[in-house]
Amino acid sequence: MAIATVGVVGLGNMGLGMAATLARKGFAVLGHDISEARRPAAEDAGIRFLSLAEVLNGADALVFSLPYARDVEAVVTAPGGLLTRLDREVVVIDTSTSDPVTTRRLAARLAEAGHGLLDAPVSGGPSGAAEGTLTVMIGGDEAHLNAARPVIEAISARAVHVGPSGAGNIAKLVNNLLVAAHLITTGEAMRLSEAAGLPAEDALKVVNAATGRSAISEVMMPRWILPGTFDSGFAAGLMRKDVRLALELAEATGSELPLSAHVARIWDETRARITDADDFTRMADHRKDNPDA
């Protein structure tokens, strides 16, 4: 069935960018957020700001961009919403970073109601959402992916179907566990470089041409960390949540991850300096006036 109208639930930094991209690419977009303060920006981007029930019942496909698994479950099971909708099959593209157990349970409930759920967490930040250049890692049925492909292609530059339901969230947790560690190690390496007399800017020229490079050194350092703006749009609290989910997955699978456990402790112990509301790139702050440097 063709998709002409897309509903976006969650119009934060990521959701609003994706909704605006979808509107710009020709979809009729319905949007909902628990904060009425998001209405002006949504309407300026050509998005109809409606109630949750109106979005769930009026869209041909749905995109969720929500902070926690409990928020995704609340929307999926909302009274008078998807579980009672009978007019057509609706595929939910859940770009939230959630846990695979919740995803699989909700996918089964939606399937019983005649709908589909793709766990489709994204990488690329608010700029990627606004530009339609996200990377999407997808778990779910091939048939649901094919049905939702026009929407996914509109918001992404690359989409990888990594496996069945839950696989997308596993891939995202693995990715973000690495990012959490890389922020710490890259910040420490730049701190060492400057303490030894080599400016971080010059050290990065070598790192990014050699084998120590990462997205942290190549993108985040020059864009947000070296200038001291720390405005990537991703909160430290969300990274702490993703690290926690990754460690919970490790425990559930019997995986021993001693270094990752230490990374989790560092993220937890820095709350006084880097609050949950702060930008997550502050973890790589290497400057001398950083109290932890």
Catalytic residues: 172
Residue 201, SS3 per DSSP: helix
Helix H, strand E, coil C: the string for 186-199 is HHHHHHHHHHCCCC
Structure tokens at 228: 């001291």
- DSSP E strand stretches across the chain: 5-9, 28-32, 48-49, 61-64, 91-94, 116-119, 122-123, 134-139, 156-163
* C-alpha separations of 96 from 26, 73, 152, 269, 290 in Å: 24, 11, 14, 25, 32
CB atoms within 10 A of CB 234: 19
Distance of CA 196 to the CA centre of its chain: 37
- CB neighbour class for 268 (10 Å; exposed up to 12, middle 13-18, buried from 19): exposed
Rounded Cα distance between 48 and 19, Å, is 10
Dihedral of CA 184/186/190/193: which sign? Answer: positive
